[in-house]
Amino acid sequence: MRKNWVRNLRNFLTLAAMTTAVFIYAADAQSERSGNVKTSIAKVTAFGTSTVIPAAGSTVTRNNAAAYWNISTSSLPQGEVVTLWVAIFNYPFYCDQTAPGCEPSDLNNPMVDGSLQYGGGAVVGANGRADFSGYLAVGDNTGFFILPPFPNMPNPAPGLVNTKGADIHFVIRKHGQASSDPATLQAQLSSFTGGCNIANSCANIQASVHEP
């Protein structure tokens, strides 16, 4: 078991290093206005807790023009669909200062200029793992979702605006067992509410936080 943990961690760190190197190379090819590259590495925790998920982690690499991210995680429910959502708090200074860092409810504060965007979907295999990566240029709001309880979220979403100053949170969300119906499965894989009903409830299960 320990050998598997070490191997998975080594694989994640290698992947993180490779993706960071690719981003740096691409950034160097951009104009000087892109600025220096900034990279952060964060643990993955059970959603809403400080419990660390083993053999899991995420990276975010930013310059003035964009952000590239990668997350590799474990301990996911086998056979279920999971999606990744990227929560962006462009101006975290305006998040509720009574809490440590930004919280989901801060997306409802227009001053935060928040954005919630789809980052990918997967059916979890027997190993309980999933890997996601993506790239967001400034102003790209592809796949944004407005949370109904938060009517003050900007609509349309702004996307990533403050590349080096934004809080970027990753949220892994489960959508129940993968459906045998292709249309339902597609909804599970690609939407915030896909597959969610009384018999098949959805829930946020993991998170990873990157502060500037």
163 by Cβ neighbours in 10 Å (0-12 / 13-18 / 19+) ranks as buried
User: Do 208 and 71 contact (CB within 8 A), yes or no?
Assistant: yes
Reported as a single tens digit per residue, the pLDDT across 168-194 is 999 999 999 999 999 999 999 999 999
User: Whole-angstrom Cα distance, residue 121 to residue 108?
Assistant: 25
Reported as a single tens digit per residue, the pLDDT across 17-61 is 444 444 444 444 444 455 799 999 999 999 999 999 999 999 999
User: Whole-angstrom Cα distance, residue 196 to residue 187?
Assistant: 10
Which residues on neighbouring strands pair with residue 57, listed in sequence order? 72
CA 59 from centroid of its chain's CA atoms = 10
pTM: 0.84
User: Whole-angstrom Cα distance, residue 205 to residue 85?
Assistant: 11
**Could you count the other beta carbons within 10 Å of the beta carbon of residue 180?**
7
Reported as a single tens digit per residue, the pLDDT across 117-137 is 999 999 999 999 999 999 999
Reported as a single tens digit per residue, the pLDDT across 136-167 is 999 999 999 999 999 999 999 999 999 999 99
User: Do 129 and 147 contact (CB within 8 A), yes or no?
Assistant: no
User: Do 53 and 40 contact (CB within 8 A), yes or no?
Assistant: no
**57-62 sheet: strands from edge to edge:** 38-42, 57-62, 66-73, 130-137
